[in-house]
Chain A
Amino acid sequence: MTQGDHPVGDTQWPLWEVFTQSAPGKPHEHAGSVHAPDAELALQNARDVYTRRGEAVSLWVVPADAITASSPSDAGPFFEPGNDKAYRHPQFYKVPRGVKVF
């Protein structure tokens, strides 16, 4: 067992974040998390919890403590500056004739 420090009294196994891919070529998307003692069992637990109904063709599991996340207090400086800059959106460009728009 190598993943992360447990709070005292926490008898749960380490946490792993689970990503499922719904079809070949699609992105792996966050599905949820599982507890597991190691990578192989994390993969198996993720398979049992998140792919029982044909949701996935591929699975990733990542130790939760390997993820660096922004904190709620970062939300203002990180994300608000983008809110009033409409010109960053691409709708101001005219689509040339003959270009197929998806």
Chain B
Amino acid sequence: MDSNAALVDFLLGLGDDRLVLGHRLSEWCGHAPILEEDIALTNIALDLIGQATLFLGLAGDIEGKGRDADALAYFRSDREFRNHPLVELPKGDFAFTIVRQFLFDAFGYHLLQALAESAHEGLSGIAGKSAKETAYHLRHSAEWVVRLGDGTEESHVRAQSALDEAWRWTGALFVPTPAEAVLAESGVAPDLVGLESVWRSSVDEVIRNSTLELPEALPPTGKGYRRGDHTEHLGTLLAEMQSLARAHPGATW
């Protein structure tokens, strides 16, 4: 794999993770438990979709086939999406949304911090800007994990079951793709093994404060996972997200 193809593949992954998770969060719009949290979740959704636009736009530029961020977001099929399965799982209850968000925010924060030092200038610029937004997302979701875990009996039970479910999908975050292996060598992307240990220590600290327990009996597994593998849930998400753009190609408003 040449380094341009690797970079395009990697950027699509960065963009798709944020696009898909942003869409999942947007499903809370008008439905969150309280008005202020409704605004907080949709703010985060918009941040993520904004980051996705930048990463996909750069991917399209480097690819050089005339595809912009919209073309990449709305006119690829599920098999072409490069996001991790963690972000496509249904939003579940508020506890699942928050726990999944926390696990991803911690991953995204450390990844973007590392990418802000990337040897690729365009990528490091987007990453530096996005890392600031993500620092806030992480603060928000981490505070909520502590409050749900150490809150009422019901919130604890729900948060624990959310953690048991979401945890299994975190293994795939740290399985390097062939593209990531190429880019780690040239200093464009960080080494995922180092990233996993900083991720794990920030997760451990928050989980300890939350009185929840990491489901060690169900270790996160990435065995056999390959980028482009998806759960059944991505297809229905994309059907909804892409329907308008596909019904009215080129529409503007």
Nearest chain A CB to B81 CB, angstrom units: 29
- Are A48 and B34 CB-contacts (below 8 A) given A41-B143, A41-B147? no
- B36 located at the interface, meaning its Cβ lies under 8 Å from any Cβ of chain A in the complex: yes
Q: How large is the interface on B (under 10, 10 to 19, 20 to 34, 35 or more residues)?
A: 10 to 19
- Are A35 and B36 CB-contacts (below 8 A) given A48-B43, A52-B43? yes
Complex contacts, B140 vs chain A, CB 8 Å: 44
The answer to whether A37 touches B147, judged by C-beta atoms less than 8 angstroms apart, is yes
The distance in angstroms between the C-alpha atoms of A20 and B140, with both chains bound, is 20
The distance in angstroms between the C-alpha atoms of A37 and B143, with both chains bound, is 12
Complex contacts, B36 vs chain A, CB 8 Å: 34-36, 45, 48-49
The distance in angstroms between the C-alpha atoms of A34 and B37, with both chains bound, is 10
Complex contacts, A48 vs chain B, CB 8 Å: 36, 39-40, 43
Contact residues of A between 25 and 77, Cβ < 8 Å to B: 34-38, 40-41, 44-45, 47-49, 52
In the complex, number of A-B residue pairs with CB atoms less than 8 Å apart: 28
- B139 located at the interface, meaning its Cβ lies under 8 Å from any Cβ of chain A in the complex: yes
Complex contacts, A12 vs chain B, CB 8 Å: 34
The answer to whether A49 touches B143, judged by C-beta atoms less than 8 angstroms apart, is no
Q: Which residue of A lies closest to B44 (CB)?
A: A48
Complex contacts, B35 vs chain A, CB 8 Å: 35
- Are A35 and B34 CB-contacts (below 8 A) given A41-B143, A44-B143? yes
Complex contacts, B143 vs chain A, CB 8 Å: 40-41, 44
Complex contacts, B139 vs chain A, CB 8 Å: 44
The distance in angstroms between the C-alpha atoms of A86 and B76, with both chains bound, is 73
The distance in angstroms between the C-alpha atoms of A78 and B43, with both chains bound, is 43
The answer to whether B40 touches A45, judged by C-beta atoms less than 8 angstroms apart, is yes
Contact residues of B between 127 and 142, Cβ < 8 Å to A: 136, 139-140
The distance in angstroms between the C-alpha atoms of A87 and B168, with both chains bound, is 76
The distance in angstroms between the C-alpha atoms of A35 and B32, with both chains bound, is 14
Chain A interface residues (CB < 8 Å from chain B): 12-13, 34-38, 40-41, 44-45, 47-49, 52
A-B interface, 6 closest residue pairs, ranked by CB to CB distance from nearest:
A45-B36, A48-B40, A48-B39, A48-B43, A34-B36, A49-B39
Chain B interface residues (CB < 8 Å from chain A): 34-37, 39-40, 43, 136, 139-140, 143, 147
Return 14 A-B CB contacts under 8 Å, by A number. A12-B34, A13-B34, A35-B34, A35-B35, A36-B36, A37-B147, A38-B147, A40-B143, A41-B147, A44-B40, A45-B36, A48-B39, A49-B36, A52-B43
